[in-house]
Amino acid sequence: MKRLLIQHGRVIDPASRLDRVMNLLVIDGRIAAYDAHPSPHDELIDATGKIVCPGLIDMHVHLREPGREEDETIYTGTAAALAGGFTAVACMPNTEPPLDTQATVEFIQHQAERANHCHVYVIACVSKNREGKELAELGQLVQAGAVGFSDDGAPVYDAELMRRAFEYALMFDKPILNHEEVRELTHGGVMHEGLVSLLLGLPGMPACAEEVMISRDIALAETTGGKLHVLHVSTAGSVELIRQAKARGIRVTTEICPHHFTLTDDNLRTFDANYKMSPPLRARHDIEACLAGLVDGTIEVICTDHAPHAPEKKMRELDQAPFGILGLETCLPLVITHLIEPGILDWPTALAKLTCNPARILNIPKGTLAIGADADITIIDPDVHWTYDVHQSRSRSRNSPYHGWEFRGRAEKVIVMGQVKYRWNG
C-alpha cells in the first residue's frame, strides 16, 4: 500500500467547494482522506504556504505527433504539460495523418502510455481527413476513446455537415469544438484588422470573421440541441454572442487562451512572428470584454492552444510564418500574475476554469479532489518570483512571446495517480 501525505497546504477544490488548510492523504493513487495524521509509512510532502488543487486540465493542445515530430512529440509535449502544472491534456486532431480513425486514436493513447507523463485525451476529427466533406465515423472514434470532435486548425465550414455532426455527437453526448473563422474574410491576413494593421500596412483578420461563424454555430446548436464548444474566443462581439446564447439555454461553452487576455495587436509592431496567432491578438477593448466574460462566467475555461513550431518555421517572414505559440509552461503563471494578483479572479474561480470546468465539458472523471477521486494533484507556489526562459522549455519548440517575462507563482510539484511526476527545483 503506497501512502502519500500532503501536509499543511491550502487545499482548493472548486468542484467540492473546498478551500481550507489541511492535510490530504493519498493511498494507492486515490484521494483517501482529509485531515489525516502522518503514519510511519507515509511519504510526506510539506505544502506549507502552498496551494494544493486538482491537477490542471488543458483541453486544447497540439502535440504534433504523428507527422510533425520536428515541432513536438507526445513525449516532449506531455513533459511540458507537467512542467506547467497539467496532469491531463486533450490533443487536437490536426496531425499528419489526422486523428479520424480508431487506429490513429489508439496510436496517441499508446504513445502517451509510453511517455508515462500525464493523461492524454483525444479530440478526434469531425470530418474524414479534416476535409469538411464527409463525417468521420464518430461512433467508432468514441469507441476508441475520443472525448470530443473538432477539425481544429480549420473550421467545420459546411453548415449541413456541422448540423449532422451535432446530431450524431448527441448520440454519444460529446461536444463539437469548432475553430470559428470565416476564411473568405481572413484570407491572407496575418493580424487583427484594425488601426494597428492599417498603420503597419499588414493584411488584417476582422473580428466579424469569428463572430459570423459563432452566430451560425449557435443557431445550429439551438436547432439540434447539440453541445457547442467555441475554441479560443477572442473578440468582444463573440463574448456577447455566447453570453446571450447561454441566457437562452443553448448548450454552448467557451474557452480563452492567456495570450488573448495578456497581449494585444499592438505587439505586432515588433514584426515578431511569435505574436502571430489564429485567432489573432485583438484590440484593447476586446481584451477588456474577454476579462468581463471570465469574471461573469461566460468564459468557463482557460486553455493554452499550445502550438509548437520548430524555430526555422517561425523565423520566416511574417506572412509566411505559421500561426501559434507555446503555452503549456506559461499558462498558470500568466493566470496568477495577470488575473489573480490584480484581483480580477480569485483562486477558486481561476482554478475552476483550469480543472473541473474542462473536465465537465469533456465529461472525463478528473478535476476534483473528492474522496475516492484519482490523485491527480498540482501543488502551486503562489509567491515565488521567477523569469521564464524559453530555452529551458521541455517542449521541442521555442516559439513563445513570453521569453524573459517575470512571473509570480508556478507549479512546484505535479502528482499523477499518486506519483510525483514533476518537481521544480528553482
DSSP one-letter code for 39: -
Dihedral sign computed on CA atoms, order 195, 198, 199, 205: positive
3-class state of residue 142 by DSSP = helix
Distance CA 337, CA 342 (A): 7
> Which H helix or E strand runs over 385?
strand 377-387
DSSP string, 163-197: HHHHHHHHTTT--EEE----HHHHTT--EESSHHH
Provide the β-strand partners of residue 256.
Answer: 302
Of the CA atoms within 13 Å of residue 162, those in its CB half-sphere come to 27
Report, in angstroms and rounded to the nearest whole number, the Rg of the chain calculated over CA atoms: 21
Alpha-carbon distances of 99 from 95, 106, 158, 286, 304, rounded to whole Å = 7, 9, 19, 33, 20
List CB contacts of 395: < 8 A, sequence separation 6 or more: 72, 76, 77, 79, 80, 306, 308, 326, 328, 329
Query: What is the 3-state composition of the chain as percent helix, strand, coil, each rounded to the nearest 5?
Result: 35, 25, 40
* Cα 189 to Cα 359: distance, rounded to the nearest angstrom: 34
Contact (CB, 8 A) for 46 and 35: no
- Which residue in 42, 100, 152, 305 is the catalytic one? 305
In the beta sheet, which residues pair with residue 406?
A: 387
For 56, which DSSP code?
E
The CA-CA-CA angle for residues 40, 416, 88, to 5°, reads 160
The dihedral over CA atoms of 128, 181, 186, 125, expressed in degrees to the nearest 10, equals -20
305: annotated active-site residue: yes
The torsion angles phi and psi of 398, rounded to 5 degrees, stand at -135, 15
Q: In angstroms, rounded to a whole number, what is the distance separating the alpha carbons of residues 278 and 179?
A: 9
Cα 399 to Cα 60: distance, rounded to the nearest angstrom: 17
Question: Annotated active-site positions, please?
Answer: 305
